[in-house]
Amino acid sequence: MRSAQFVILGPGALGSIISAHLARAGHSVVVLARGARARNIEQQGLRIKGLAEITRSVRVLTDPSALRAADYLIVA
């Protein structure tokens, strides 16, 4: 399986879970976020706690016009 480029618009609870699992599976993940949420993800990565704990670093964009290409866009 080839690695795909995913863009997640809205890394709230659901978007963060999807992003972390995609990154863990080896895909390239970019999240579009704003303000404090963007800063938090940049500094600490995505931290998911549940049955298993997942922490993944992902690229964060705050300006949608900076996005150049993606295989998939997920609006969460």
Name all domains of the chain by residue range, CATH numbers in brackets.
5-75 (3.40.50.720)
pLDDT grade, residue 8 (50/70/90)? very high
Q: Is the dihedral of CA 55, 57, 59, 63 positive or negative?
A: positive
Residues 25-74 pLDDT 10s: 999 999 999 999 999 999 999 999 988 899 999 999 999 988 888 999 99
What would the mean pLDDT of 2-27 be, rounded to a whole number?
Answer: 93
- CA-nearest of 28, 12, 41 to 72 is 28
Write out the H or E segment, with its range, that includes residue 37. Answer: helix 35-44
Q: What is the pLDDT of residue 1?
A: 63
| pLDDT for res 69 | 85
